[in-house]
Structure 1
């Protein structure tokens, strides 16, 4: 059998980073990474419209009255049978994931999470985690489980205002690094100036700006943050 070329998405695993604040500027240092790629990922966006009946019309007029936060559901398989990595209980990995649904002890606020995998990136809070255990060992430790994660978008007041202006450079975005790309080249394409590599490196906590990896996901800070 010849060599198999894997895409960046196949190589990457779903990763969830936790932050203490809704502006996603205070990382907690907590990172959770899936054993296997998501089996399913669904996205939901809902806009609200208000019907107003005008005199002399046969049908009400629909006027946009606002939108609800975007929602994402991620279906995961956790497997400790040895299919991926060393065999053993998935209990600790599952406990670490469920901990992200709790409130932070010092702020009494939920963890704000950045979930990313390949070109997918979503920032919000974990609103629900449904776990179904599929397999146990003789000691009763879980070896396999499916998890349905529900996330709801969380935006700061500043980001909400910026999002209402689609052309605004004030929104955070993500960038999937391709083979051979450099930080200054990415900065030139995104911000129009290669000198913006410094705030880009700082935003991603890159100790070695020249050590980009193919398939690495970068957070692109707002243009104002790069000035």
Structure 2
């Protein structure tokens, strides 16, 4: 579940106040006590599986790619067995100091990661850093499992199972989206060597829609199109 205790580079999480990740939240970042041995990255693709009446099968029409999801486990420990053994603090660590309680560790985690901010009316946006990983998103679920207890019932070890969902600001999202989909309106400047049926085939993967495209653009003829003309190729469902 968890990796090397002595790793100098710890996984850490930085909270931000805005979706563009330009305004850091006040306070310190959260650093994992122990790096996880693994994490899960989930990709989901959404299709329209509407089936016409009287048909035994359906053609799956691509709709969208859902935001990526990541899951991590964070360890909280006050048994005294697990130490924060990073190079940065190993020389100043006090071996006789009383470990911070699990309750206090979890409270610090909540303040840095999931505390609801009254001024923005929402929890923080989060950046997760670890090695080559840089994930931007929000925490949408946390399950805390208490695993070890003192004789009086006080939890002295817990694991927070966290699920994060990717969050990309609108300008960046629009810049990286695939604009070649046949589900959006395309614009082309017609040149002398073009043929409307070939352009139609490139966009829709079928050329029989060229008559509809000509009608949509109010062309008198699809054979004599003036070079420099601006043509619009609408989504299939709008034709």
Instruction: Give the TM-score category using the shorter length.
Output: 0.5 to 0.7
Residue 107 of structure 2 aligns with which residue? 95
- Which is worse superposed, 133-142 or 90-99? 133-142
- Name the CA distance, whole Å, in 2 between partners of 1:66 and 1:135: 43
Task: Give 1:54 shift.
Answer: 8.0
- Which is worse superposed, 53-62 or 82-91? 53-62
For the structure 1 residues 92 and 55, does the alpha-carbon distance in structure 2 shift closer, same or farther, using more than 3 Å as the test? closer
Residue 12 of structure 1 aligns with which residue? 9
Counterpart among 1, 20, 25 of residue 22 in structure 2: 25
- Name the CA distance, whole Å, in 1 between partners of 2:74 and 2:125: 20
Residues matched between the structures, number: 159
Task: Give 1:140 shift.
Answer: 5.3
Unmatched tracts of structure 2, length 5 or more: 85-96, 180-239
**Which structure has the larger Rg over C-alpha atoms?**
2
| Superposed CA offset, 1:170-226 (max 9, x none) | xxxxxxxxxxxxxxxxxxxxxxxxxxxxxxxxxxxxxxxxxxxxxxxxxxxxxxxxx
* TM-score, normalised by the number of residues in structure 2: 0.58
Task: Give 1:37 shift.
Answer: 0.7
- Name the CA distance, whole Å, in 2 between partners of 1:11 and 1:18: 22
Q: For 1:80-91, what aligned pairs fall within 5 Å after superposition? A: 80-82=78-80, 83-85=82-84, 87-91=99-103
Task: Give 1:61 shift.
Answer: 2.2
* TM-score, normalised by the number of residues in structure 1: 0.61
Residue 68 of structure 1 aligns with which residue? 66
| Superposed CA offset, 1:96-131 (max 9, x none) | 222322321111022000011112221111111111
Task: Give 1:57 shift.
Answer: 8.4
Q: How large is the RMSD of aligned CA atoms in angstroms?
A: 2.8
Unmatched tracts of structure 1, length 5 or more: 1-6, 167-227
| Superposed CA offset, 1:131-181 (max 9, x none) | 111223456543211110111111111121122159xxxxxxxxxxxxxxx
Find out whether 1:113 has 2:129 as its counterpart.
no
Please state whether the residue corresponding to 1:121 is helix, strand or coil. Answer: strand
- Name the CA distance, whole Å, in 2 between partners of 1:165 and 1:89: 49
User: In proportion to residue count, which structure has more strand?
Assistant: 1
